[in-house]
Amino acid sequence: MPSNEQRRQAAKRKLERQLARRAERAKRRRIWGASITAVVVIAAVGLVYWLVNLGPDNNSEAATSPDDSSTANTSKGACGYKDNPSETPPDGKDVGMPDDPAETPKTGTVKVTLKTNQGDIPLTLDRAKAPCTVQSMEHLVTKKFFDGTTCHRLTASAGLKVLQCGDPLGTGAGGPGYSIPDELAAAQKFTPGQSPDGSTQVVTYPRGTVAMANGGANTGGSQFFLVYGDSTLPPNYTYFGTVEAAGLTVLDKIAAGGITAGQNGPEDGTPKSPVQIKQAVKE
């Protein structure tokens, strides 16, 4: 039978073994923890390296997908045409946005003839004056957007003599479903003046001017106006071309036919001799 001293020695040895096993387990846990931490750090560094050096480039197809919510409603080129949700083109007039290359053509002219029931109105569109606007107008003409539309507004006041066209609805509220950025540098070079009350800076849009109508900054679409007599306006309307002499003769005939008074009075309404663009043709 073991003595008390033998029992104490046996218990001491057992305790020492237990403490040694616990120390070994703790050591293994520390080694595994350090290994896992190292793996996580290496993986994170590798992921960052891939994203910075090997991942999708910002100019890749994925990065510029039409599903990108920040730019889904804007064309990707130099002009940045934008969807205009306030306009829904009628059936047959939804022709999409124009092509929008990174380098918009800025030289040369485009010849367009508006074949109306009152006679042909030939226009010369100048890319140097408003490249994005001319690019859009060329698109609309090519897609036959203007065919079968009416010129819905004629004015004859001392300071505003224009025929306004290009609305597929014929009401003044329609458009192509997208908007064009303003290009005002050319209009700002017109002869300056003051409004009758002296409160507004204006310029003279000369007879023969072709300019964009709009409802505010950067809202131009398809509506444009043809100036048959010098007109005084703020330089807020993109000037992009001219009416040729034969077209001015037709405009004078339309103006002479008179105006059916509208909500702005007897000098601003619809032409008494209706004007329909049967076809717009790029020459």
Query: Are residues 151 and 169 in contact, defined by beta-carbon separation less than 8 angstroms?
Result: no
Quick one: pLDDT at residue 146? 98
Quick one: pLDDT at residue 134? 98
Quick one: pLDDT at residue 40? 39
Quick one: pLDDT at residue 68? 36
Residue 192 has a CB neighbour count (10 Å cut-off) of: 11
Alpha-carbon 241 to chain mean position: 21
pLDDT by residue for the chain (283 residues), tens only, comes to 445 454 555 555 555 565 566 666 656 666 555 544 444 343 333 333 333 333 333 332 222 223 333 345 899 999 999 999 888 899 999 999 999 999 999 999 999 999 999 999 999 999 999 999 999 999 999 999 999 999 999 999 989 999 999 999 999 999 999 999 999 999 999 999 877 777 889 999 999 999 999 999 999 999 999 999 999 999 999 999 999 999 999 999 999 999 999 999 999 999 999 999 999 999 9
Q: What does pTM read for this prediction? A: 0.75
Query: Are residues 163 and 151 in contact, defined by beta-carbon separation less than 8 angstroms?
Result: yes
Provide the 3-class DSSP secondary structure of residue 58. coil
Q: How many CA atoms lie within 13 A of 38 on its CB side?
A: 6
CA distance 69 to 62: 13
Query: Are residues 160 and 202 in contact, defined by beta-carbon separation less than 8 angstroms?
Result: no
**DSSP assignments along 179-203, one per residue:** EB----TTGGGSPEEE-TTS-SEEE
